A and B are shown apart, each in its own frame.
Chain A
């Protein structure tokens, strides 16, 4: 009996302490379970959770403005829209350099329509400006070329701006991305930036080489402005380039050199470019992230003094959310009213009869959603079955047929029918567990039918009502197909608006913001459902 007297930890068969051995076995078990779950979890994360996270990100993302107008968004930070004046020449220069690149990449209309969501009318001035960008600064191009024919040659510019290493290899079939020389960037910063942007754009867009293409007019404008700023620039270069630049500096300082104002040029394209509101919008949306979509989704707009509520007539989303809520509530209540008696009778009939009747509940549940929606469309139409029966019975006159479709009534009837099984099934499974002898006991103690039901049976069936209601409400609030087909204009939900923004107005950010708000509501309800019912207890049939 030496085992009995042994002191110290209890050992497993292989000599390790039993505690550790057990812990290891448990860990193994956990790992095995996780290994079985992992593939699916990964699959769901990749195909479902990640797309939704991406959508959430889209509702705040605003990089299109900074990406397309990098110089303008930096320059505009110094601008004070409350001054009531149009911005300075420098900001218009920045805009010109950005827009000429954007127009070449055909992105100016996209940024225009992005800003148009916030300030109607911007889209058209961007489109107009994009068309006339090629001529911006042409006056300088002509004067430079008149000064020396070399200013027409691509090689002049490569020698001036390009990194010598890059220039040595350029011109071939697989040209590397344009690199500028540090000297040029230092003494002629604006022109180098403009030239590099141009060179990279033609490389990306058309596969052309900067060594073979003539530069755009705005580069000449940038060069002119840099030379005015820094007349000593030629000293930094050598050879022909220095001579060309020196000649240019001399010419620029001469009185007959003609100049132009970018600001005036933009004003000529459209006088709205001088409108401070346009620039306020650009400044407001110059960040990488924005709450603008959410403000829009909540019927707010950005005013001079921070967010403010839109005028009453423009508040569509609040109305739509409210309508979605109220109609989902109405659908839930009608499901409770219709589902409760059915669940009760299913739970109280002998199981053979109940099983047969159960099929009547499950059949609609298994029938395609579109079949049921089309059935309701057929039934509720003005020339449909219900109206025909009513007319035949003489209850409704032939010329005064009821309008039951393409309105809220149609949506509520069709969706109540579609979601009713989701109410009946949880109610039924709760009612099955209620012992009928409680009801008999209450009656034998003198309760009337009603008291026995209301005080004894009903409280026990509340969990079923709760489970069914949350489920029906969650499903109803996000419904799309049925409202789209039978809802007309008055009976549509927020989902239909989201779909509209994705596929028709293409305002994806707003669609994402509306979707995020809807998702938050649904997840709150889901969380409540988990707390009250438990996800494990969801039953299907």
Chain B
């Protein structure tokens, strides 16, 4: 339901705003072709004219948008081949949507009726700024993914890639990752260290979180401060301390030493997530279980555990990713035999930078997406279980 009654705009308004947008894009295309000013003028004239004409044709909006899309795509194909066609199609689709969005005053429909034009403009400017920040957040990840399929050993888009030439793409960096003994050893080390560290931190952490959420805990604040400190203390200091101390007791350079160090680093995450789950925990449930004759152990496994399980699992995933991503501590506490994936990436980035890193990075991004999805689903499930959010 539209908040504000809207009516069609005058052709002059649509034409003016469209011309601004057209000029903006024209500037880029023009600069790339050699003359920014010419591009600006052509773009502004093109979209301004379209805006002026199309304002009176809002009834056939759908058909006209499709026509624009195809027309710009064909124009692009004629002018600059396949990549220009994609750009043209995108631009045509945008132009069609934008002109009708303006012409039918759709942009005004969801806003409060009393806003002045200036406020409306600010509203959309603000969204564009936020959009730019979101792009900033996500771009590095989006750039890495296509580059990992590069057929050349370059870290930038080759002309072949930009022309969507199949020869410009290849899986050779992935092949390298799966056949290179160094990378495979690193992957194997990571996969043998992280689960052990996770088990340790989840085991100890869950027990402690349950203890911490009891109503009467002496020195609760101090204990909490100590348990969270591995997250706060700079990694280089933890690494230095562990390096000195573990070499004194002979744990430096051993698998066990790295596992212990990573477990310590993962503990704060387990504590935070599990205590957060326990905040909404209804104590009368355990009392009811005890009342019906269940011992503490049965109560824990049959009543408490199923309810806090989502929190424990996401804490575990946090601990896992902490260990899986960790490089500073393993760099100092580990020896060549414990070289993990991030360590291998770190040396790769510092010494001979090879595009295999991008393939590894893409694989790691996919893993993170899976973990993130799991954690989000668990969080929602946990909130639903505890009745904190509507189903």
Contact = CB atoms under 8 A, between A and B. Distances in A.
Q: Is the A/B pair a real complex? A: yes
B232 A40 contact: no
Given A29-B215, A33-B214, A47 B264 contact: yes
A540 B318 contact: yes
A247 interface: no
A47 B260 contact: yes
A39 B208 contact: yes
Interface string B120-157: 00100011011001101111110110010000001111
Contacts of A404: none
Interface in B166-216: 200, 204-205, 207-208, 210-212, 214-216
Contacts of B260: 47
B91 interface: no
Nearest to A393: B31
Nearest to B261: A47
Interface stretch (A88-96, A295-303, A361-369): A361-369
Given A37-B208, A379-B140, A48 B238 contact: yes
A18 interface: no
Contacts of A168: none
Contacts of B44: none
Given A363-B369, A369-B325, A378-B156, A40 B361 contact: no
Contact of B143 (A342, A357, A378, A503): A378
A400 interface: no
A364 B156 CA distance: 21
Q: Which of A54, A372, A503, A522 has the most chain B CB within a 10 Å cutoff?
A: A54
Given A44-B264, A364-B137, A393-B28, A377 B144 contact: no
Given A34-B218, A359-B372, A540-B272, A40 B137 contact: no
Contact of A29 (B36, B216, B332, B371): B216
Given A37-B212, A40-B205, A370-B361, A530 B225 contact: yes
A378 B204 contact: no
A374 B212 contact: no
A539 interface: yes
Contacts of A420: 137
Interface string B220-257: 01011111111011111111111111101000000000
A257 interface: no
B358 A378 contact: yes
Nearest to A342: B133
B375 A541 contact: yes
A58 B244 CA distance: 9
A364 B346 CA distance: 18
B291 interface: no
A40 B267 contact: yes
Nearest to A448: B119
Interface stretch (A259-267, A280-288, A382-390): A382-390
Contacts of A376: 140
Contacts of B214: 29, 32-33, 36
B381 interface: no
B32 to A, nearest CB: 5
Nearest to A58: B244
Contacts, number: 282
A373 interface: yes
A375 B211 contact: no
B189 to A, nearest CB: 15
A51 B246 contact: yes
Contacts of B261: 47
B57 interface: no
A107 B249 CA distance: 21
A217 B264 CA distance: 54
A499 B331 CA distance: 10
Category for how many chain B residues contact A: 35 or more
B249 to A, nearest CB: 10
A370 B232 contact: no
Nearest to A416: B136
B332 A40 contact: no
A368 B327 CA distance: 10
B284 to A, nearest CB: 16
Nearest to B379: A541
B53 interface: no
A37 B223 contact: yes
A41 interface: yes
B110 to A, nearest CB: 10
Contacts of A58: 244
A395 B31 contact: yes
A388 B227 contact: no
A50 B245 contact: yes
Given A40-B204, A345-B127, A363-B372, A374 B345 contact: yes
Interface string B270-288: 0011011000000000000
Given A37-B217, A369-B327, A374-B144, A48 B229 contact: yes
Nearest to B370: A366
Interface stretch (A126-134, A178-186, A475-483): A475-483
A434 interface: no
A242 interface: no
Interface in A374-421: 374-379, 381, 383-385, 388, 392-395, 417, 420-421
Most buried by B among A58, A359, A536, A539: A536
A44 B267 CA distance: 8
Interface in A467-515: 474, 477-481, 484-485, 495, 498-499, 502-503, 508, 511-512, 515
A371 B269 CA distance: 21
A388 B342 CA distance: 28
Contact of B368 (A33, A363, A498, A511): A363
B357 A394 contact: no
A449 interface: yes
Contacts of B244: 51, 54-55, 58, 508, 512
Contact of A518 (B208, B221, B237, B245): B237
Contacts of B365: 367-368, 371
A58 B241 CA distance: 9
Nearest to B333: A51
A394 B241 contact: no
B340 to A, nearest CB: 11
A381 B147 CA distance: 14
A165 to B, nearest CB: 35
B298 to A, nearest CB: 17
B313 interface: no
A367 B264 contact: no
B86 interface: no
A341 interface: yes
A366 B372 contact: yes
Given A368-B368, A370-B345, A535 B228 contact: yes
B349 interface: yes
A35 B211 contact: yes
Interface of B: 28, 31-32, 34, 36, 119, 122, 126-127, 129-130, 133-134, 136-141, 143-144, 147, 154-157, 200, 204-205, 207-208, 210-212, 214-218, 221, 223-230, 232-246, 248, 260-261, 263-264, 267, 269, 272-273, 275-276, 318, 321, 324-325, 327-328, 332, 342, 345-346, 349-350, 353, 357-358, 361, 364-365, 368-369, 371-372, 375-376, 379
Q: Which 8 A-B pairs have the closest CB atoms?
A: A478-B234, A36-B211, A375-B140, A51-B245, A51-B241, A40-B208, A55-B241, A33-B214
Interface of A: 26, 29-30, 32-37, 39-41, 43-45, 47-55, 58, 338, 341-342, 345, 357, 359-364, 366-379, 381, 383-385, 388, 392-395, 417, 420-421, 449, 474, 477-481, 484-485, 495, 498-499, 502-503, 508, 511-512, 515, 518-519, 522, 526, 530, 535-536, 538-541
8 contacts: A30-B216, A47-B261, A54-B241, A342-B133, A363-B137, A363-B138, A378-B147, A519-B233
Given A26-B216, A368-B342, A383-B154, 20 more contacts: A29-B214, A39-B204, A44-B229, A47-B261, A52-B233, A54-B244, A338-B133, A360-B137, A371-B144, A375-B143, A375-B144, A378-B140, A394-B32, A478-B237, A499-B236, A502-B240, A515-B241, A535-B228, A536-B275, A541-B379
